């Protein structure tokens, strides 16, 4: 039996299930940036997102990861923050994730400029973002603890709606 990951719209229940299992780097990044606990950060991210999704495996009730695209801060600055929080189970889906994450992100961010801050030392996230074509700025103090973070940014062209990707996985 093949155990391929699948993507579903994110829910508050997914947040409750994944929060105790987040990668240490994600927990450290959340705390040093905004002094939030994992569950609070997940719930806020899902609630604040234009679109939030969860990656599941058929053989587990614990989500592998959640990701999304935050709402624009204001009409004059329409950039949106992209986010991804996950468990160590990401390693199980590395190949599928690498192949499909760019497609999902292009669809979520179609016609938008997206950004976020990545804690210096989060080499896996920085490699992934570089592979997706993000501009990665030198680290500067940022967040609640003023730790060194890289500002990352990418402009996306317009493309197909998300529902086409979700229906294509079936």
Note whether residue 63 is domain-resident. Answer: yes
Note whether residue 31 is domain-resident. Answer: yes
Note whether residue 1 is domain-resident. Answer: no
Please say whether the beta carbons of 56 and 49 come within 8 A: no
Going from the C-alpha of 89 to that of each of 1, 14, 86, 133, 140, the distances in angstroms are 19, 15, 8, 24, 30
Using alpha carbons, select from 14, 42, 49, 47 the residue that is nearest to residue 26.
Answer: 42
Note whether residue 97 is domain-resident. Answer: yes
Average pLDDT over residues 49-56: 92
Three-state SS sequence of 63-101: CCEEEEEECCCECCECCEEEEEEEEHHHHHHHHHHHHHH
Strand partners, 80: 114
Note whether residue 125 is domain-resident. Answer: yes
Q: What is the mean pLDDT of the chain?
A: 88
> In CATH, what number is assigned to the domain containing residue 154?
3.40.630.30
Lowest model confidence (mean pLDDT) among 27-31, 52-56, 70-74, 106-110: 70-74
pTM: 0.86
Please say whether the beta carbons of 8 and 165 come within 8 A: no
Q: What is the pLDDT of residues 87-134, one digit of tens each?
A: 999 888 877 776 788 888 888 888 888 999 999 999 989 998 998 899
Dig out the tokens for 156 from the structure: 């996306």
Domain total of the chain:
1
Average pLDDT over residues 46-75: 89
Note whether residue 108 is domain-resident. Answer: yes
Range of the domain at 39: 6-168
């Amino acid at each position: 039996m093949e155990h391929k990951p699948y993507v579903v719209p994110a829910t508050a229940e997914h947040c409750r299930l994944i929060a105790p299992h987040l990668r240490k780097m994600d927990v450290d990044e959340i705390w040093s940036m905004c002094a939030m606990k994992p569950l609070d950060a997940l719930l806020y991210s899902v609630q604040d997102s234009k679109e939030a999704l969860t990656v599941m495996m058929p053989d587990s009730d614990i989500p592998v990861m959640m990701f999304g695209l935050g709402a624009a801060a204001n009409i004059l600055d329409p950039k949106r923050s992209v986010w991804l929080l996950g468990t160590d189970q990401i390693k199980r889906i590395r190949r599928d994730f690498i192949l499909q994450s760019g497609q999902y992100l292009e669809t979520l961010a179609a016609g938008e400029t997206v950004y976020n801050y990545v804690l210096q030392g989060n080499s896996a996230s920085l490699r992934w973002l570089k592979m997706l074509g993000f501009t990665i700025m030198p680290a500067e103090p940022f967040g609640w603890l003023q730790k060194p973070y890289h500002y990352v940014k990418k402009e996306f062209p317009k493309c197909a709606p998300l529902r086409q990707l979700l229906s294509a996985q079936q």
